[in-house]
Chains A and B, each alone.
Chain A
Amino acid sequence: MGYIIGQNIIRKEAFNKVTGTAKYTDDFIATGIYHADLLVSPYAHAKIISIDISAAASAKGVKKIITGNDINVLCGPLIDDKPPLAKEKVRYHGEPVVMVVADCEQNAKAAVAKIKVNFQPLPVVNSVSDALKENAVLIHENLQQYKKNVSDVYPETGSNVCGHVKIRKGDLQKGWQESELTIESNFTLPQSDHAAMETRAAQCQIMPNGRVIVCSSTQAPFSVKEQINKTFQVPIEDIDVNVLFVGGGFGGKAAVQLEILAYIAAKAVDGHTVKIASSREKDMITTPCKIGLEAKIKIGAKKNGKIIVAEMHYNVDCGGYADIAPRIAKAIAVDCAGPYNIENISCDALSVYTNHPVATSFRGFGHTSLSFCIERMMDKLGAALNIDPIEIRMINALTEGCYSPTQVKVTLSNTGNFGECLNKLKTLINWHEGQRIVESNHLIRAKGVGCFVKTSDSPTNAISGVLLTFNSDGSINLNCGAVEIGPGMKTTAAQILAEKLKMDIGRIQVKMEVDTQTSPVHWKTVASMTTYMVGRAVISAAEDLIRQLLNGAATILRCTPEDLEIAEEKIFLKTDQKIYLTFKDIVHGFQYQNGNSIVGQIMGRGNFIMNQLSYLDKETGEGKAGPYWTPGAQAVEIEYDTIQHTYRILKAATVVDAGKVLNPKTVKGILMGGMCMGLGLGTSESFIYDAEGIVQNTSFRTYKMMRYGETPDYLIDYVETPQLDAPYGSRGLAEHGIIGIPAALANAISLAAGIDVTKLPITPEQIWQQKEGVRQ
């Protein structure tokens, strides 16, 4: 079948990564560069009364000290609501207040310790519900004065709401009338951290000719460029952003923050190179984290299990500044019903300021949170009607011809086959043996299901591009603007090109680094869109190459381009494969025996732009947010100890409609990684605040993640319903392993322990509290 699609291809940079030679941002070691360090807020909400930098200013090695008063800008991707260094007041624990630039890391850090800031604590908004109370303390008093960078975000004056997305589909009243049963529940999910192993880091140098050179561990180099341009009015052509390997992103490195600070620092020291790298503690709270969520869901259904109507409130905890949270709220609204068809929906998704750390995109872009709510609701509905959890999902499954909450018609191509995922999951997790099995007098084995559907919510005009050049021997260089953050997208791009040209992937070199001066623009390396967007651009570039190769060869071989075919770096006559030219003969120009030359250098250009996407209607939400959905069904099997209320995770299963699995081992690895992270969210990952909004667990000592040996057996299977407009039919799935897992775990534990899990993470202490009816 495929030439190379469907084969296990080892990533191109593999040997560099096992020898320590692959370079990440902070591996750029040079003498003479300056280092910046930050004094960050010890309060969640406080007025800055005074800042005394005198002792620090005269400390060893200090070059410059910068406070909020030195910078007169506000920034942000959607709403300009954030001063790069706090001004007048701080809005979250960990917010940057003062920046020291010194000749080395040690001196910068020592000087920070010498700065004295006098804060006056303000009342703290410590949860979304606090923020939405009547007469709540306002975190941004001048919300209405902020500049909006996009038209479709709707902050609400005089409140803590910085965005509101509405979905109104069908007829709610009719829905409630027809319902025979209603189920209602509230859910609370905490903020947590991306915790990529590489902490965020950036460097900036401003050249005498005005060029601003940034090197950063970012998923969004082109956004860095735009934000520096927009915030500081630096001509966009003067900004060059370079990205080496990125040590994990998970959405956290799509936010722009350290780059802005590095620019400010470099500017303050006459353009000298300044490096700023977050310590782990600062990476957790100073730079953005994952959203929190409070939700209230009410569904009405028929006794046969069919859901007729749903009313949903999703309130996103975006922390002290908006960042991209209104877009996450939008993504939640767009897929608010999960992979289920509900005819009548009312959904309000608010993004709400609190005095918590700032939230940004995180693997799954809100879908893990929304799935938790919906999937718990499905189990509750099933339990109320005595219908098997998979059956109740099947009854409501989104199928061809249904309409999504934003009223997009579902097709097999654009949404895949969710029902088939459920079917396969049943086999994979051995569903027929039962869902709750008593193993001994104190051990219960239980299984829970959690499903998802996810689209991308990119800008409606998101673009990507690919440039292909040849080496003289006919091998190809591939240059694209997607960053290698881990999932192997650069190798996937090469694989798609190798398939298209039917050539050896070893002869395709991919430029691993991105540099915004020479790499074609790629929106951001996020949203599981890279294979789709870059892949489409690769195919378009390959077609461009093929056209030129065929035309050139046709002239030389004296035939028409239609008479020719390309494979294995040869352009040959379809009718007689012995008559051919090699790439080598032609790609840098073909030379006749007498020296005459033609064709010239062949280069491929490919581009991609989202099509048919539209803004959502402000009142009804009608509109198309993404090009396609990826559906999937997941399950977790646990063993629960009825005496100690502890549990072990035995198995985690995922069936996803992949469209087409391009590189099986890579895809499996990405899904397992997602599942592992989902288990982390389910079992332990969350920011813990005290009553004053101070995060208590800012290091890996107390912020716990899954370790080797704590993970279950992973079971993975695929449905392959091609997505017609995607490269070789493949759907995006890089985020998806995480999405349904916390819900599946919560469903398994709820069933095993006979409790109602409505919060994450699920600790044995919480199970015990519910079981023993202890007040929290």
Chain B
Amino acid sequence: MIAFDFAYFRPETLKEANETYKQLIIAGKLPLYYGGGTEIISMARAGSIRFDAVIDIKSIPECNTLCVENNQLIIGSAVTLTKIAESGCFPLLGKTVSRIADHTIQDKITIGGNIAGSIIYREAALPLMITNSKVKIIKKNKLHELPLLEIFDGNLHLQNGELIVQFLIDTNYLNLSYCHVKKTKLDKIDYPLITLAAIKTDNGINAAVSGLADKPFLLPVKILNEQDVPEAVRADKTVGAIQNNIIGDLIIAGKEYRMFVLKNVLVQMFENFKEAQYAGI
């Protein structure tokens, strides 16, 4: 039960959404864009956020797109993780999102909400971070298209009222060989100890991880791809290079153990890229 009241709006167009947001601000209210609502409802129940209104973006056509156009996969920000996984449009992303939370929740979480959320994992971002993805956002009443990494360094940097509308991924990336590993403390349904998403392009391996730090981040491409260095050594060097980012916590795992698991994950990743075209683990 949420202890406070708020208003609910479900606009049909981007313009309406943007306009509603503005009006609420003018009226001195605090609105939130509302995707799946899973984070908003749980944090509101816990009393850790307060707001006056939610603007549900799920009826906005642009936010619900899931199609390929001009060699780009377009994923609307309100598309649920289940839809992405079931569509098979982007295998690495499908694999990644089908390990977020649990299957039932995946039908509620939206890709935009996962990436814009306050949770430190934001696992859905990993495949997008390593595939030169772009985002379309509403900014100052207009649609802008930018590289994702320009506004997302693990944390999303949007100004108030700005809305993610779509993610755009070059189709060349969709069927590259990939690797996804999610390691948890023990259970399958849990926050990640480490989630790694990686692809292999002609230029080498690109990988991003979540769970190790207070936000997802890219692994150093140079070290991962030092061709003349043995893989085990590359794994060690990667761990060494990022160890200052790694955090430990009471609940999931200590820092040293995370480093140990990361190393294993990297070794496994190298192994998989050697062995198979498609390496989902």
What residues of chain A have their CB less than 8 Å away from a CB belonging to chain B? 105-106, 109-110, 112-113, 643-644, 646, 683-684, 688, 690, 696-697, 701-702, 704, 706-707, 709-710, 763-765, 768-769, 772, 774
Which of B1, B186, B250 is close to A704, meaning CB atoms less than 8 Å apart?
B186
**Nearest CB of A to B168, in Å:** 32
Instruction: Beyond the given A702-B191, A765-B185, please list 8 additional residue pairs across the A-B interface where CB-CB is below 8 A.
Output: A105-B1, A109-B3, A644-B264, A646-B186, A709-B188, A764-B185, A768-B260, A774-B256
A702 touches B187 (CB 8 A): no
Whether a CB of chain A sits under 8 angstroms from the CB of B254 is yes
User: Interface residue count for B (Cβ, 8 Å)?
Assistant: 21
Roughly how many angstroms separate A768 CA and B4 CA in the complex, as a whole number? 46
B260 neighbours in A (Cβ, 8 Å): 768, 772
**Nearest CB of A to B48, in Å:** 11
**Nearest CB of A to B259, in Å:** 11
**Nearest CB of B to A38, in Å:** 13
Roughly how many angstroms separate A144 CA and B137 CA in the complex, as a whole number? 68
B1 touches A688 (CB 8 A): no
Per-residue interface assignment for chain B, residues 37 to 65, with 1 indicating a CB less than 8 Å from any chain A CB and 0 otherwise: 00000000001000000000000000000
B261 neighbours in A (Cβ, 8 Å): 644
Chain B residue at minimum C-beta to C-beta distance from A112: B3
A684 touches B186 (CB 8 A): yes
**Nearest CB of B to A658, in Å:** 32
Which of A106, A684, A702 is close to B2, meaning CB atoms less than 8 Å apart?
A106
Chain A residue at minimum C-beta to C-beta distance from B260: A768
Given A690-B250, A696-B250, A696-B251, A110 and B3 contact (CB-CB distance below 8 Å): yes
Given A106-B2, A109-B1, A768-B257, A707 and B188 contact (CB-CB distance below 8 Å): yes
B4 neighbours in A (Cβ, 8 Å): 110
| A to B CB contacts below 8 Å, 12 in the list | A109-B3, A110-B4, A113-B47, A688-B251, A696-B250, A701-B191, A702-B191, A702-B251, A704-B185, A710-B187, A765-B254, A774-B256
B47 neighbours in A (Cβ, 8 Å): 113
Chain B residue at minimum C-beta to C-beta distance from A281: B46
A105 neighbours in B (Cβ, 8 Å): 1
**Nearest CB of A to B191, in Å:** 8
A688 neighbours in B (Cβ, 8 Å): 250-251
Which of B1, B3, B253 is close to A113, meaning CB atoms less than 8 Å apart?
B3
Roughly how many angstroms separate A709 CA and B251 CA in the complex, as a whole number? 23
B187 neighbours in A (Cβ, 8 Å): 684, 704, 706-707, 710
Roughly how many angstroms separate A105 CA and B2 CA in the complex, as a whole number? 9
Could you tell me the dominant secondary structure of chain A's interface residues?
Answer: loop
Per-residue interface assignment for chain B, residues 84 to 126, with 1 indicating a CB less than 8 Å from any chain A CB and 0 otherwise: 0000000000000000000000000000000000000000000
B257 touches A765 (CB 8 A): yes
Whether a CB of chain A sits under 8 angstroms from the CB of B190 is yes
**Nearest CB of B to A704, in Å:** 5
A707 neighbours in B (Cβ, 8 Å): 187-189
Roughly how many angstroms separate A772 CA and B253 CA in the complex, as a whole number? 16
Roughly how many angstroms separate A709 CA and B188 CA in the complex, as a whole number? 9
Roughly how many angstroms separate A688 CA and B47 CA in the complex, as a whole number? 22
A701 neighbours in B (Cβ, 8 Å): 191
A772 neighbours in B (Cβ, 8 Å): 260
Chain B residue at minimum C-beta to C-beta distance from A703: B251
Which of A106, A646, A690, A709 is close to B1, meaning CB atoms less than 8 Å apart?
A106
Chain B residue at minimum C-beta to C-beta distance from A691: B250
Chain B residue at minimum C-beta to C-beta distance from A107: B3
Given A704-B186, A774-B256, A643 and B250 contact (CB-CB distance below 8 Å): no
Given A106-B1, A109-B3, A110-B3, A764 and B186 contact (CB-CB distance below 8 Å): yes
Roughly how many angstroms separate A735 CA and B27 CA in the complex, as a whole number? 60
B186 neighbours in A (Cβ, 8 Å): 646, 683-684, 704, 763-764
Roughly how many angstroms separate A105 CA and B45 CA in the complex, as a whole number? 12
**Nearest 6 interchain pairs by C-beta:** A109-B3, A110-B3, A765-B257, A704-B187, A105-B1, A702-B251
A706 neighbours in B (Cβ, 8 Å): 187
**Nearest CB of A to B235, in Å:** 13
**Nearest CB of A to B255, in Å:** 11
**Nearest CB of B to A176, in Å:** 41
